[in-house]
Amino acid sequence: MADKRIVLASSSPRRRELLGRLVSGFETEPARCAEDAQGSPARVALQQGYDKALDVYGRNRDALVIGADTLVALDGRILGKPCDAADARAMLHALSGRAHSVFTGMCVVSAQGCAVRLDETRVRFRELTDELIDAYVSTGEPLDKAGAYGIQSLGGALVMDVCGDLDSAIGLNARGLAELLEQFGVAVRPYAGSDWARYARYWASACGLARG
C-alpha cells in the first residue's frame, strides 16, 4: 500500500492539516454529492461522511479515498452554518453556558473495501455576554462555520471545556483515522492528537476576545 494514491474528499484546510500529520503526498478532491441525509445528528454525520467518500471514489477507482463530515448538535437539533449575523448571534446565545455535541463521521474506501467510524465530542461553552457575542460575530468567522463557531480559531475563546477528541471537533479524528488507514495497510506517522489544555492556555493569553 505504500504507493497507493490517497485522496481526501474535502477542500477543508483543517482536514488537510490533520491528515498531513499522518501521511504525506495525498491529494484532495471535494465531493460533489448533496448533503441531504436525514435522521439523528450521529446518523447524518456518518452517512454524509460515507456519501462523500463514495462520491469521490467513483471518480478515483485506483485510490484510497477518505471522506468526513462534521456537524454541531444541541438538544438533538443540528446547527448548520448561520444564514446571516442575526442567525449567528441566535446560535451563540443558544450555546452559551451549555454543553453540546460535535459529531464527525469518517469513511475510508478503496478496492479492498470500506470502513467507517463515528466520534462524538462534547463541547461546553462559557457564559457569553452580548458584547462577546457581538465582538465574535463582527469578525465574520461564525458565518461559514457550523454552529456559528470555529473551535480551532477565534471561537476557541468561547469554549470552557472539551470532553472527547479535539481533532474530531475540528473536523477529523486523526488518531481514529490512523486506525482505519492501518486496516488498509497504510503506514501512518505517530500522532498524539491536539491538546485542549494547550488551546485553552493560548486563548487565555493571546486572544483578543478576552476570557474571564
Query: Residue 101 maps to which CATH number?
Result: 3.90.950.10
- For residue 173, report the phi and psi dihedrals to the nearest 5 degrees: -75, 95
Asked if residue 57 is part of any domain, the answer here is yes
Asked if residue 211 is part of any domain, the answer here is no
pLDDT at 182: 97
Arithmetic mean of pLDDT over the chain:
93
Question: Looking at the DSSP assignment, which residues form a beta bridge with residue 6?
Answer: 64
Q: Which three cell numbers stand for residue 132?
A: 462577546
Number of domains in the chain: 1
Higher-scoring residue by pLDDT: 151, 204: 151
The per-residue pLDDT for range 31-72, each reduced to its tens digit, is 999 888 999 999 999 999 999 999 999 999 999 999 999 999
pLDDT over threshold 60, residue 1: no
Asked if residue 160 is part of any domain, the answer here is yes
Confidence tier at 205 by pLDDT (50, 70, 90): low
Asked if residue 55 is part of any domain, the answer here is yes
The per-residue pLDDT for range 103-123, each reduced to its tens digit, is 999 999 999 999 999 999 999
pLDDT over threshold 90, residue 90: yes
The per-residue pLDDT for range 148-167, each reduced to its tens digit, is 999 988 899 899 999 999 99
The per-residue pLDDT for range 2-32, each reduced to its tens digit, is 568 999 999 999 999 999 999 999 999 999 9
Asked if residue 22 is part of any domain, the answer here is yes
Write the secondary structure of the chain as one string of H (helix), E (strand) and C (coil).
CCCCEEEECCCCHHHHHHHHCCCCCCEECCCCCCCCCCCCHHHHHHHHHHHHHHHHHCCCCCEEEEEEEEEEEECCEEECCCCCHHHHHHHHHHHCCCEEEEEEEEEEEECCEEEEEEEEEEEEECCCCHHHHHHHHHCCHHHHCHHHCCCCCHHHHHEEEEECCHHHHHCCCHHHHHHHHHHCCCCCCCCCCCCHHHHHHHHHHHCCCCCC
Confidence tier at 203 by pLDDT (50, 70, 90): low
Asked if residue 124 is part of any domain, the answer here is yes
Neighbours of 140 (CB within 10 A): 11
Mean pLDDT of 90-101: 98
The per-residue pLDDT for range 123-144, each reduced to its tens digit, is 999 999 999 999 999 999 999 9
User: In terms of residues, how long is the chain?
Assistant: 212
Asked if residue 212 is part of any domain, the answer here is no
Mean pLDDT of 162-187: 97
Candidate list 51, 55, 62, 69, residue with the active-site label: 69
195 is catalytic: no
The dihedral through the CA atoms of 158, 37, 69, 107 has a sign that is positive
Q: Which structural domain, as residue segments, surrounds residue 87?
A: 5-206
Mean pLDDT of 198-211: 59
- Cβ atoms 65, 108 nearer than 8 A: yes
